[in-house]
Amino acid sequence: MTDQPTTENTSTGEFLHPRYWATWVGIGALRLLSLLPIRILFSIGKVLGKGLYLILPGRRRIATINIQRCFPTLSSGEVATIVRESFEVITTVAITTGISWWASRARLSHLVHLHEAHHFTDALAQGQTVILLAPHFSAVATVSIYLGTIGSGVSIYQRINNRLLDKFVLRGRQRFGSRMFERKSSMRDVIRALKNGEFLYYLPDQDPGPRRAVFAPFFDIPTASWPVLGRIASMTNAIVIPCFCSLNRDRSGYDITFDAPLDNFPGDSPVADATRMNQVIESAVRAMPSQYFWVHKRFKTRPPGEDDFYR
């Protein structure tokens, strides 16, 4: 990780190559879609999501296994309903990406509905160091962009192999002043940003792999978890505020809900901190299961001796 925010590092001429033509078509489609009313986009996303549910059996299987293991008392029909709804959510988020990239500040503010935001805004006003614990619910990127209109923030970014798409994603995420740092082994620049008064929008709930993980329960399943949240909070004297995003039920936009800062955090060990973090995420998932990103192999890394979760 460098000590500067991630920047675009390609020439415009490169993107005229035929290998990027399909990407240009996709970006153009997102631009046109961004001009439509949000309710129409939600309707389109629901229809397209039903189609993706049918034509992506691999992802459908991953989501089904995840939900079956996390909610073992649900019937097969109930599991299938959550899987279908999650595909609809993912597709809706995808086709509304253009709104977060190009919509005016005024339009975005109209579409985003804040709940219990005082937990966040009061902490910023009081000069507290803030880490937003933001699991992978719907529209996490849109939320990250919008929060740049409230305060100065940073987040961690994984580059995309498609350099043209990477350029647009990065530009969109930084359009209101948020800074993005590439995901590397060092967290020094994030620590520095927090100490300088910026908040961190932190997405912790994807499989980190065996080398960096600690195992902590998530839905009573030993789950490979990132062990760094407590360490960052300790090093910066930061408070950790859970932040959850979802598509609004009345199709009017996005909901962002903030919880009170975690008390007595960090704890006495990385495992204790990861357990607390997973408990917070699990509680939110139980409240809105269809909004969670189930198509990721969240349980891919297993403790020594355990069978492949997805076999």
CA 193 to chain centre: 20
E strand or H helix that includes residue 68 = helix 57-70
What type of residue is 228? Answer: V
pLDDT of residue 185: 47
pLDDT over 70 at 23, yes or no? yes
pLDDT over 80 at 11, yes or no? no
Q: At what angle do helices 76-95 and 38-55 cross, to 10 degrees?
A: 130
User: Reduced to 3 states, what is the DSSP secondary structure of residue 11?
Assistant: coil
Percent of the residues in the chain that have a pLDDT greater than 70, as a whole number: 95
For the residues 39-61, what does the mean pLDDT come to? 97
- Please, which pLDDT band fits residue 8 given cuts at 50, 70 and 90? low
Please tell me which residue, 296 or 1, carries the higher pLDDT value: 296
pTM exceeds cut of 0.85: yes
pLDDT of residue 13: 81
Residues 6+ apart with CB under 8 A from 148: 174, 175, 176, 177, 178
pLDDT over 80 at 9, yes or no? no
Per-residue tokens: 156: 């961690």
What type of residue is 134? Answer: A
User: Reduced to 3 states, what is the DSSP secondary structure of residue 129?
Assistant: coil
For residue 266, say if its preceding peptide bond is cis, omega within 30 degrees of 0: yes
Return d(Cα 43, Cα 50) in angstroms, integer: 11
Tens digit of each residue's pLDDT (9 = 90 or more) over 139-198? 898 999 999 999 999 998 888 999 999 999 999 999 998 999 987 646 889 999 999 999
pLDDT over 80 at 6, yes or no? no
Contact 211, 221 (CB under 8 A): no
Return d(Cα 34, Cα 163) in angstroms, integer: 22
pLDDT over 80 at 300, yes or no? yes
User: Reduced to 3 states, what is the DSSP secondary structure of residue 293?
Assistant: coil
Number of neighbouring beta carbons within 10 Å of residue 282: 18
pLDDT of residue 186: 63
pLDDT of residue 217: 98
Return d(Cα 40, Cα 206) in angstroms, integer: 31
Per-residue tokens: 5: 């925010």
- Alpha carbon of 138 to those of 17, 61, 229, 254: distances in Å? 33, 19, 21, 9
pLDDT over 50 at 89, yes or no? yes
Residues 6+ apart with CB under 8 A from 179: 5, 152, 153, 154, 155, 193, 198
- Please, which pLDDT band fits residue 274 given cuts at 50, 70 and 90? very high
pLDDT of residue 2: 44
Contact 180, 156 (CB under 8 A): yes
pLDDT over 90 at 86, yes or no? yes
pLDDT of residue 43: 97
Tens digit of each residue's pLDDT (9 = 90 or more) over 209-249? 998 899 999 999 999 999 999 999 999 999 999 999 999 98
H helix intervals, 148-198: 163-173, 188-195
H helix intervals, the chain: 21-33, 38-55, 57-70, 76-95, 97-102, 105-111, 118-125, 140-147, 163-173, 188-195, 229-236, 270-287
Measuring CA to CA, which residue among 99, 130, 91 is closest to residue 33? Answer: 99
